[in-house]
Chain A
């Protein structure tokens, strides 16, 4: 039986999927994922309100992004190699097609897009961005790599009628990453 902190502290430990799912394997349906996410989203919005629900999703994404970065990405690689690995890994995991649009190395400001996004691509247009989890995920990845806190804002989304999600990323002013042990 797990204690209450088990998942909080052992997020990368998603289990031995190969052993646990010998027949069904590592792949699943996007619909199942979205059903789970949007069901939780609906419940959270209904319970906490839109703002608090978005915060929960952002923080969850950030935690996942941090652990994902620590587990799968080369923390000591140069930036271009790091981003290329992130791109390759997201493709491999079929999470989305990430493309860097622009990087300002002096300001550490990044614009990137994610097409075929696991969270939103194909959703009905609601004129609202919905990839809050992705925002947090990207913030977590970059924070783990660059040891700085980042703000991530989705400016375009499938749900706003776009074909690709666009994220504007910039460091939080005067704030440094504090490793959450």
Chain B
């Protein structure tokens, strides 16, 4: 027969009491857990037992929860319907919410705030506000950067940044376009000097050293730079220094401007200015020459008309005929001269052209010498045509006549009565040298340099007080040069002068 031991009611009360006491002390009497249902016949004792058991379970669950919380295990699940840990569950909820907020902050959403935990909330709000300010600042910086980048990307000028030792770390699209590269990748890590022509290395190095030394922007300097294909072009470069937060030089900034078009324009403007000046001088010369060369022949007209004025009482019919013929010839010469001058003026104004052709020098000079003989008559000067060889030159016939006429007139002017003027031509390699030499008064050595210059007025009266403007020789030299030749003079005071010029030989 089994004897069932039934603990006395008081024993169960005592065990429950000890369990509650142990709960407070942290260690529960194991006897409590050995109580069985069949020990609990008395309803009040059963209620006491189950209430104590529920209390222990709630307490244990709460204690475990708090322990996990103390370890920092915020992810632990809070025990439901547990009054023991209600404030801890609120704390748990707060911490988990705080973690959720922190996750948002970590993801860049700073527009969060907390309103619990007193000063902690203030600090957190301060943190998120600071981050928001920073975010706003970064946004503005980003916007400014976008604007700046837009300006840089669309600016015709190019911008580059290099390290202090010259390695390129940034180049704007304009730089790539300017230097003929497709993208920045092609120029990345190149040295700045790689873009500069070798002749400019020292200049560039000095400018960079000054930039680093002076720690301020430099004025624009012109450099000859190289494109990718090796072609050269002119660039204006201004530099600046970028320092780190301690003021130490970190990067070099350069602004590049392609000035090749500007220089070209400058050259063209300079050319136009020179052309304008030349045109002005030509105009001045034209009027001076007209005055000079139109006036000269009138001496012949006056001479012949004076002779004719003596009338048939003094002159024989033959002489009248002769002088009339001479006057007619002189007028024809004058007409020709006028025509020549107009042709020349057209040339000067750009409305005419030099018509180079083969000119038989012997024939041309003979014809001219004959027409000029009349001018020598008054001073009884002998005009010798020593061109015997049959020579042909490339020349503008009208200009050649004008040159020779001027040189002969000039010689007549500075040759005394009964003097001699000799015309000669010598064939040389590739050209022919023509000369008009006289045994006249010659030219002062100091005046030799002034003879062919339009900008230095120089004129001397002839041996018979013939006036002059000094423009005749200027005209001659210019015309010779237009025909591809050169003009020279040699003279000795009191012995005469020799003007000679070259023309291309046929």
Are A163 and B81 in contact (CB-based, < 8 A)?
Answer: no
Are B89 and A156 in contact (CB-based, < 8 A)?
Answer: yes
Are B111 and A156 in contact (CB-based, < 8 A)?
Answer: no
A164 touching B81 in the complex, CB below 8 Å, given contacts A81-B111, A101-B96, A103-B100: no
Query: Which residue of chain B has its CB nearest to the CB of A159?
Result: B81
Picked from B90, B97, B111, B115, the residue with its CB within 8 Å of the CB of A163 is B90
Are B90 and A160 in contact (CB-based, < 8 A)?
Answer: no
Are A160 and B97 in contact (CB-based, < 8 A)?
Answer: no
Whether A41 is near chain B, meaning CB under 8 Å from some CB there, is no
Are B90 and A164 in contact (CB-based, < 8 A)?
Answer: yes
Q: Please indicate the chain B residues that have their CB under 8 angstroms from the CB of A161 in the complex.
A: 81-83, 86
Within A102-116, the residues touching B (CB, 8 Å) are 102-103, 111, 113, 115
Q: Please indicate the chain B residues that have their CB under 8 angstroms from the CB of A125 in the complex.
A: 83
Are B97 and A100 in contact (CB-based, < 8 A)?
Answer: yes
* Binary contact track A63-78/B, C-beta < 8 Å → 1, others 0: 0000000000000000
Are A99 and B93 in contact (CB-based, < 8 A)?
Answer: yes
A residues contacting the other copy or chain, number (CB 8 A): 23
Are B112 and A100 in contact (CB-based, < 8 A)?
Answer: no
Whether A84 is near chain B, meaning CB under 8 Å from some CB there, is yes
Whether B109 is near chain A, meaning CB under 8 Å from some CB there, is yes
Please measure, in the bound complex, the distance between the C-alpha atom of A81 and the C-alpha atom of B82, giving whole angstroms.
33
Q: Please indicate the chain A residues that have their CB under 8 angstroms from the CB of B111 in the complex.
A: 81, 84
Within B63-112, the residues touching A (CB, 8 Å) are 78, 80-83, 86-87, 89-90, 93-94, 96-97, 100, 104, 107, 109, 111-112
Are B80 and A84 in contact (CB-based, < 8 A)?
Answer: no
Q: Please indicate the chain B residues that have their CB under 8 angstroms from the CB of A81 in the complex.
A: 109, 111
Q: Please indicate the chain A residues that have their CB under 8 angstroms from the CB of B82 in the complex.
A: 161-162
Whether A37 is near chain B, meaning CB under 8 Å from some CB there, is no
Question: Nearest chain B CB to A42's CB is how many angstroms away?
Answer: 23
Please measure, in the bound complex, the distance between the C-alpha atom of A88 and the C-alpha atom of B90, giving whole angstroms.
20
Q: Please indicate the chain A residues that have their CB under 8 angstroms from the CB of B112 in the complex.
A: 80, 84
Question: Nearest chain B CB to A130's CB is how many angstroms away?
Answer: 13
Q: Please indicate the chain B residues that have their CB under 8 angstroms from the CB of A170 in the complex.
A: none
Picked from B81, B93, B115, the residue with its CB within 8 Å of the CB of A127 is B81
Query: Which residue of chain B has its CB nearest to the CB of A160?
Result: B81
A155 touching B87 in the complex, CB below 8 Å, given contacts A80-B109, A84-B112, A166-B93: no
Question: Nearest chain B CB to A93's CB is how many angstroms away?
Answer: 15
A155 touching B90 in the complex, CB below 8 Å, given contacts A80-B109, A102-B100: no
Please measure, in the bound complex, the distance between the C-alpha atom of A81 and the C-alpha atom of B90, giving whole angstroms.
24
User: Can you name 17 A-B pairs with beta carbons within 8 Å?
Assistant: A80-B104, A80-B112, A81-B109, A84-B111, A99-B93, A99-B96, A101-B97, A102-B100, A115-B90, A156-B78, A156-B80, A156-B81, A156-B89, A161-B81, A162-B89, A162-B90, A163-B90
Q: Which residues of A contact B (CB under 8 A)?
A: 80-81, 84, 91, 97, 99-103, 111, 113, 115, 125, 127, 155-156, 160-164, 166
Q: Which residues of B contact A (CB under 8 A)?
A: 78, 80-83, 86-87, 89-90, 93-94, 96-97, 100, 104, 107, 109, 111-112, 115
- 8 tightest A-B CB contacts, nearest first: A99-B97, A161-B83, A101-B96, A160-B81, A163-B90, A113-B93, A163-B86, A100-B100
Given contacts A100-B97, A115-B90, A161-B83, 14 further A-B contacts (CB under 8 A): A80-B104, A80-B109, A80-B112, A81-B109, A84-B112, A99-B93, A101-B96, A102-B96, A103-B100, A115-B93, A125-B83, A161-B82, A161-B86, A162-B81
